[in-house]
Amino acid sequence: MLASLVGIVVVAIAGAAWLGSKASKINSELTAATQLIPDLKHQIASDDAGAAAITVDEVRAHTSAAKQAADDPVWSLATALPGLGSNFTAVAEVARSVDDVANLGLAPLVKVYSSLDWESLLPSSSGTDLEPLKAASPGISAAAHAVRLSADRLAQIDTTNLLPQVAGPLASARDELQDITGALDAAANASSLAPEMLGAQMPRNYLLMIQNNAEARASGGIPGALAVLTLDKGSLTLGSQSSAGDVGVMSPAVSVDPEQQQIYSARIGKFMQDVNLTPDFPTAASTAQAMWERKTGQRVDGVISIDPVALGYILDAIGPVKITHPELVSLASAGLPTELTGRNVVQTLLSDVYAKIEQPPLQDAYFAGVAQEIFAALSDGRGNAKGLVEGLGRGTSEGRVLVWSRLAAEQSVISKYALSGSVSGPSIAPAQFGVYFNDGTGAKMDYYVKRTVQLIQECPAGDYSQITVRVTSTNTAPSDAATSLPAYVTGGGAFGIAPGTVQTNVTAYGPVQANLAGASEGGQQVSVSSNRHDGRPVGTTTVTLAPGETSTVDIQFNKIVQHASPEVRVTPTVQDVRDVILDTESATCAPAG
C-alpha cells in the first residue's frame, strides 16, 4: 500500500514555500517507509521476529513524521483553498491512514507474530498448546478493525475535483488497502476459528476425503480414500480407511438441491463416488457427511478434502516418508517406491499404482495406506511450520484443500473464502467464471489429459459485456493406450467408451444474471445444455478424445452486467493450475459510435 501512496503527496503550489517544504517532508518520509517494506516482508518470511519489530518501529517513525507534517496548521488552512483544497485534504487523510496502518495494523501484528512459537503449533502425538493462538486472536481482530476503518475513510474521499496526480494514486491506494484489509480479516477469522476447529475445547472428527484427480470430478476427483480425521488439542489421528465404493448405494437417496440435481443428475445423492459431480463443495461435503453417518453411524463435525498434489506440498514440508506398513511394503515390492516425496507421490498414486498392481481393491488399499503414512508422519510433528503453512496455503488457493463445517456459525465464516469451495456467496468475485470437469469414461484416464482455460473478452453489446470461455483439451495417452494401459485405467469399454479414449463433461459457469449464448468447436455450433445454479448461468458440453487428439471448445456468455475484471476458477487437475489458466485475451473492437 505504501508504494502507491508516495505519488499522492506532491501538489505544487506556486510561491507557497512552506507548503512545498511540508509536501516534500511527507513525500520523503513515506518514501523512506516504503523502502523498508521489502525488508519487513523478508524478515517475517525468515521467521526473524526481532528484526521485524525493529523495522516496524522505523516504519512508524517515518509515517508519524509524515502525519505530523500533514497536521501542520498551514497545511490545514490550505484544505480550505478554493479548487485545490480537496487535494490537501486527500493528502492529509492518506498520511493519517498510513500512520494508522503502521501503528494499529503492522505494529500489533508483528508483536503477535513474535509472541507465537510457530513450530510448537505443528501437530504432534502429544498435542499442541493452542492457548497462545487463542490469546492472539483479539489483537489480530483489533488490528484488522483499525485498518478497515482507515480503508473506509479513504473510500469516502470524493475524487471528483482532485488533480490527476492525487486521484490516480489514491485509487490504487484504496485497492491495495482493501487487499490488506481482506488479508487481515482472514487472519482474524483464522485465529478465531482455528483453535476450536483443531479441538482446543473438545475433540473434532472430520471426514477426510482424498480426491483422485485421475478420474475427474468437478471439485477435483473421485473420492479415492475416506477416513475419519480426529483433532484433539492439536494432536492428529487418522482412523481406519474406507473407499467410496464401500459406502454403497444410498436408498433412499440423500436429498440434494433440485437445481444441482437437474444439472448433475440424481447420482449426487446416491453414490459417494459422485457427491462432487457438483463444483459446490458445501453441497458435496454435506451430502458426503450424510452418507457417511447413514452408513457407519459415526457423527462427524465436518468434511476436509485434499488431493495427491496437495499431499505433495505437505511432503515438501515434512520431508520424505518411508513406506513401513507391512501390507504397503508387500504391495510396493511390485515396483512402487518405498519412499514417497513431493516429487513422486502424484505419479505414484495416480499412475504407477495402476500399472504395478492389477487388483482394484489392492489399488485402493495402497492409495489409502499412503495417505495413512503421510498423516502419521504429519502427526509426529515432522517438518517445519513455515513450509507446511505455505504448502497448505498453495493447496487452498488452487482449490486442492477444501473445508466444510456442519456448525452454521463456523461455515458462515468459511464461506467467505476460497477454502469453502463455494460457487456462490461472498467468496465469489463479481465477474466470476468457472470451468469444471467431470469424467464420462468411468475410468482413470484424466491423468493423461492436459487442459488450458482462457477467457476471451469479446466486443461489448450495448451496455453489456460478452465473454467466451475457451477450453482446450488434449489426450496425451500413448497411441496404443487400449492395450498398453490397464483396463482399470482405460475403463475397458465398460461404459461404451473405446479403451484409450477420454470422455469429459465440461461445465462452464458465468456470473450472476448473465446468459449462456451457446457453444462451438472449430467454428461449428455444438450441443450445450443450459441451466442455472444460484442465479449463475451454467452450460455443459461433452468432449471425446482419442489418444493424441485435441479439442478446443468455446462457450459463450452474454448480457454480463458486471464491469469488474473477469476471473476464472477451474477444477484442480494433475497439472499446475498456473499452466491451466491462461491470461485473459481481449478482442479488437471498433471505436464506439
CB 491 within 8 A of CB 360: no
Residues 134 and 37 in one domain: yes
CB 219 within 8 A of CB 276: yes
Domain residues for 294?
A: 204-397
Residues 233 and 330 in one domain: yes
Name the pTM for this structure. Answer: 0.85
Residues 469 and 382 in one domain: no
Residues 172 and 285 in one domain: no
Residues 372 and 436 in one domain: no
Give how many domains the chain has, as a whole number.
3
Query: What distance separates the 2 farthest-apart alpha carbons in the chain?
Result: 87
Which CATH number fits the domain that encloses residue 227?
3.40.630
Residues 463 and 521 in one domain: yes
CB 229 within 8 A of CB 304: yes
Residues 228 and 192 in one domain: no
Burial of residue 50 (number of CB atoms within 10 Å: 0-12, 13-18, 19+): exposed
Q: Which of 397, 413, 443 is the last residue of a domain?
A: 397
Alpha carbon distance 281, 303 (integer Å): 10
> Could you tell me if residue 406 is inside a domain?
no
Residues 311 and 168 in one domain: no
Q: Which of 167, 197, 227 is the last residue of a domain?
A: 197
> Could you tell me if residue 190 is inside a domain?
yes
The grid cell for 505 is: 463433461
CB 406 within 8 A of CB 289: yes
- Grid cell 458462515 — which residue? 412
Alpha carbon distance 19, 507 (integer Å): 60
Q: Which of 197, 215, 235 is the last residue of a domain?
A: 197
Residues 217 and 359 in one domain: yes
Residues 236 and 190 in one domain: no
- Grid cell 489458466 — which residue? 581
The number of beta carbons lying within 10 Å of the beta carbon of residue 126 is 11
User: Cα angle vertex 154, ends 151, 159, to 5°?
Assistant: 150
Task: Tell me the CA end-to-end span of the chain in Å, nearest whole number.
Answer: 38
pLDDT per residue rounded down to tens, the chain (593 residues): 444 444 444 443 433 466 667 666 777 776 777 677 677 767 766 667 788 788 888 878 887 887 887 787 876 777 777 777 777 777 777 777 778 877 877 777 777 766 666 566 666 656 676 677 777 777 777 777 777 787 787 778 777 766 665 666 566 666 766 666 766 777 777 778 888 888 888 999 999 999 999 999 999 999 988 999 998 887 888 887 888 989 999 999 999 999 999 999 999 999 999 999 999 999 999 999 999 999 999 999 999 999 999 999 999 998 899 888 887 888 777 788 889 999 999 999 999 999 888 888 888 888 888 888 888 888 777 777 778 888 888 999 999 999 999 999 999 999 999 999 999 999 999 999 999 999 999 999 999 999 999 999 999 988 899 999 999 999 999 999 999 999 999 999 988 999 999 999 999 999 999 999 999 998 899 999 999 999 999 999 999 999 999 999 999 999 999 988 999 999 999 999 999 999 999 988 877 65
> Could you tell me if residue 533 is inside a domain?
yes
Residues 178 and 281 in one domain: no
Strands 464-475 and 550-560 turn out to be antiparallel
Residues 171 and 99 in one domain: yes
Q: What is the DSSP string of 479-531?
A: TTHHHHS-HHHH-TTTTS--TT-EEEEEEEE--TT-EEEEEEETTEE---EEE
> Could you tell me if residue 305 is inside a domain?
yes
DSSP structural state of residue 202: S
CB 487 within 8 A of CB 574: no
Alpha carbon distance 340, 110 (integer Å): 36
Alpha carbon distance 421, 4 (integer Å): 32
Going from the C-alpha of 446 to that of each of 70, 216, 547, the distances in angstroms are 60, 6, 12
The grid cell for 437 is: 470437469
